Chain A
Amino acid sequence: MNLRDVYVIGVGMTKLYRKAPVSIDELGRQAARDALKDAGIELKEIEEIAVGNMIGLSKTICLGQRIGITLGCQGIPIKNTEGACSSSAVAAHMAWERVATGLNDVTMAIGVECLSSYRAGGTAFSPDLNDPEAIHGMTMPGLYAMRAKRYMHDHGATKEDLAMIAVKNRKHATVNPYSDFRTPLTVEEVLNARVIADPFTLLMCCPNSDGGAAVIFATKEKAEKIGKKLVRLAASTITTGIFNNSFRDMTYMDITYRCAKKAYDMAGLGPEDVDMVECHDAFVVGELLYYESLGFCKHGESAEFLRRGDADYGGKVVFSPRGGLLSCGHPTGASGAAQIVEATWQIRGDAGERQVPDCKVALTHVTGGGVYGTENAICTIHILTS
């Protein structure tokens, strides 16, 4: 079928807190309120809302409905969705789909998480304990650490390269008022932090954080009527992991390669057109692997790509201009929407000191992990253009 063009007409985000001063539903409500204010529209113009949250962690029931009701919604459909770290990117996809297919003209996606209220600090996040690898003690830092070890073995990346990613993303976050992690870091500090899962130290892993983010999508007609700088959602794609428990190269992120191809095809663009990326840098090696699987360099060449400065301001593409998950923290269920909020600000030219010069195309990418036999359970990519 022919899909309609979809535009982002409003975005809102709370600060991403180490520990939020308010409850999870209030984080969602504040983000939604700010998105409405940004769009300059009335709540009653929103026809449907999709809410992403890691329900398995938050143990909430009807969270989206709670947010919608306290926001003042008068009975519109509200849908809750979960996809681990990509929960609210899935919500964005659902909200996009309603407008793209013509079922609605204006929809909202909200992502929200309040990890400090339900996850003990100092613990490693692990997949569902029904998973045969989780039963044996696999954690998410452990899984990515194994990727890092094998990547270093096969392609000559070093611990210093891994540390450089944490340093780069922190440098970006120092000028991001939404981040609670803004003290600059050095390579030595990153390398000397305590080891979580060899070769990762604490500072090579994203911190927990709390926050809410909201995005309002609409038709071109509606977007033009609002009169703000147009931001088009040129691609919204989801892929699922394919089972393979025989030999596989765990540094080749097949699910992201597939999702990126779909997204570039949908947008009619390629990696050479992209000005900035917010990717799933939950652990430093993620960013290295995504330089490759998002098409910016060949498999095995990402350490060189990083060392040349190609992933930073002044290089080929700016990775993690807001600081990424590594330096904004990772409010898991909120991160997918938070990335889209950042991409929108960057394309509008509203990103302040962290503005990517002349940003015309922004890509956001977040996966969700934790099903054995796959590199990731789910992958989501959004491409926004001016």
Chain B
Amino acid sequence: MEGQVIYHPDFLVIPEGGEKPYLVAYRCEKCGRLYFPKVNVCLNCLSEDLVKQPLGGKGKVYSYTIQYTPQPGLKAPLTVGYVDFPEDVRVLAQIMAEPEQMKIGMDVEVTVGEIRKDADGKSMISYKFKPVE
């Protein structure tokens, strides 16, 4: 994995054996609230007892946009969207789909890929979404 950084091993698991990648949320042991990505303290009850909870690989697009003027250094068109997981967590990520495929409410699943280069020019690998086939 030289020349790559993973964003971030604390909340993204890419299995060695070729199984599907998945996200890891953090559940507050005291009040039950779920967080993604990782927080250091429960923002609801301030407990520091947070445990890992893997998320199922699928969610629904709550909203999205196709950016034709993305951040400097990123390639257009770039689709980003909020995806709601059934566990009641919302995640923003890039969505790998053709513009005409995109719809509010569509089912998507977790995948991984390069999201940008980091400050040192290394490929930054993170979670993305793609339409469920």
Contact = CB atoms under 8 A, between A and B. Distances in A.
Interface of A: 120, 122-124, 126, 132-139, 141-142, 145-147, 149-150, 153, 194-199, 243, 245-248, 250, 372-373
B55 to A, nearest CB: 12
B88 interface: yes
Nearest to B127: A136
B31 interface: no
Contacts of B94: 136-137
Contact of B82 (A123, A135, A146, A199): A146
B92 A149 contact: no
A124 B67 contact: yes
A373 B69 CA distance: 23
Contacts of B43: 243, 373
A126 B88 contact: no
A197 B72 contact: no
B109 interface: no
Contacts of B6: none
B74 A137 contact: yes
Interface in B81-133: 81-82, 84, 88-90, 92-94, 99, 104, 115-116, 124, 126
A250 B82 contact: yes
B104 A142 contact: no
A137 B37 contact: no
A150 B105 CA distance: 10
Contacts of A196: 67-69
Contacts of A132: 37, 92
30 contacts: A124-B67, A132-B92, A135-B7, A135-B116, A135-B124, A136-B94, A137-B70, A137-B74, A137-B78, A139-B71, A141-B67, A142-B67, A145-B67, A146-B65, A146-B82, A147-B63, A149-B64, A149-B65, A150-B63, A197-B65, A198-B65, A198-B68, A199-B65, A243-B43, A245-B35, A245-B36, A246-B34, A246-B89, A250-B63, A372-B92
Contacts of A133: 92
A247 B90 contact: yes
Contacts of B116: 135, 137
Contacts of A197: 65-69
Contact of A153 (B72, B99, B104): B104
B80 interface: yes
A124 B70 contact: yes
Q: Sorted from nearest, which 7 A-B pairs have the closest CB atoms?
A: A145-B65, A150-B63, A146-B63, A198-B66, A246-B88, A133-B92, A243-B43
A123 B76 CA distance: 12
A124 B62 contact: no
A122 B93 CA distance: 23
Nearest to A243: B43
Nearest to B102: A198
B90 A120 contact: no
A122 B63 CA distance: 25
Most buried by A among B62, B65, B104: B65
A194 B92 contact: no
A289 to B, nearest CB: 13
A120 B72 contact: yes
Contacts of B74: 137
Nearest to A249: B62
Contacts of A120: 72
A371 B116 CA distance: 20
Nearest to B71: A126
A137 B73 CA distance: 10
A137 B64 contact: no
A352 B108 CA distance: 54
Contact of B80 (A123, A138, A245, A247): A138
A132 B34 CA distance: 16
B99 to A, nearest CB: 8
Contacts of A139: 67, 69-71
Contacts of B92: 132-133, 136, 138, 372
B65 A248 contact: no
Contacts of B99: 198
Nearest to A150: B63
B69 A122 contact: yes
B71 A137 contact: yes
